[in-house]
């Protein structure tokens, strides 16, 4: 059964306002929202890729082994390095730009 209410709890009864933010600067809440949304997209891509590999395996194509083989190909590795650098430049432009 209940004990008498804590009078100090009354202090908490300020009305809330629209547009909640947990950090002092609401921009940080928005940035976290972007990160969480990106996480959702990354998870979807990972799951879909896994499903694609499973679907191909069901058709008799061992794409996982082919992926491992291609990943070790030196010629392809060089082109992927350039792709990676371009990706990073695009991705981090907002930070590195003056």
Partner 1 sequence: MPALPAPTQEQAAHFDYLEGLRGYNYTVHVKGILDAYERETATGRPEPATMDEAGAIIAPSHLYRFAAATQHQAQKMGWAAARRSLEGHTNRLAEVLERMPVEPRGRLVLDPALELPGYYTERDSEGLDDIHLVPGGYWGDPLVGPVYERGGALYRMAWRTGYTGSPPGALVAFAEGAPPGDCRRILDLGCSFGGLTMALRQAYPEATEVVGIDISGAALRWAHLTAEERGLAIAFEQRDATATGYPDGSFDLIAGFLLLHELRAETLDAVMAEAYRLLRPGGHIRFLDMPPYAELPPERAFLQSFDCEGNGEAFWNEFLSRDFKAVLRDSGFVNVGDGPLDYDEPSYWGTAALLRTGEFRLENRWVNAADKPAV
Residues that bind partner 1 (CB under 8 A): 1-6, 8-23, 28-29, 32-33, 36-37, 39-40, 43-44, 47-48, 51
Q: Which is nearer to partner 1, 22 or 72 (CB)?
A: 22
Q: Closest CB to partner 1 among 15 and 74?
A: 15
Check: CB of residue 76 under 8 Å from CB of residue 70.
yes
Q: Shortest approach of partner 1 to residue 13 CB, angstroms?
A: 5
How is residue 44 written in tokens?
Answer: 């979807």
SS3 90: helix
Closest to partner 1 by CB, 2 vs 96, is 2
In angstroms, give the least distance from the CB of 35 to partner 1: 9
Query: Least CB distance from residue 16 to partner 1, whole Å?
Result: 4
3-state helix, strand, coil in the chain (%, to 5): 70, 0, 30
- What is the distance between the alpha carbons of residues 7 and 40, in angstroms, rounded to a whole number? 43
Length in residues, the chain = 98
């Amino acid at each position: 059964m209940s004990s008498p209410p804590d009078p100090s709890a009354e202090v908490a009864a300020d009305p809330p306002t629209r547009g909640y933010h947990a950090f002092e600067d609401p921009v940080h809440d928005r940035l976290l929202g972007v990160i969480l949304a990106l996480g959702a997209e990354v998870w979807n891509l990972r799951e879909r890729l896994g499903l694609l590999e499973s679907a191909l395996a069901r058709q008799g194509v061992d794409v996982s082994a082919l992926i491992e083989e291609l990943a070790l190909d030196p010629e392809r590795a060089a082109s992927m390095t350039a792709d990676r650098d371009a990706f990073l430049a695009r991705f981090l432009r907002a930070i590195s730009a003056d």
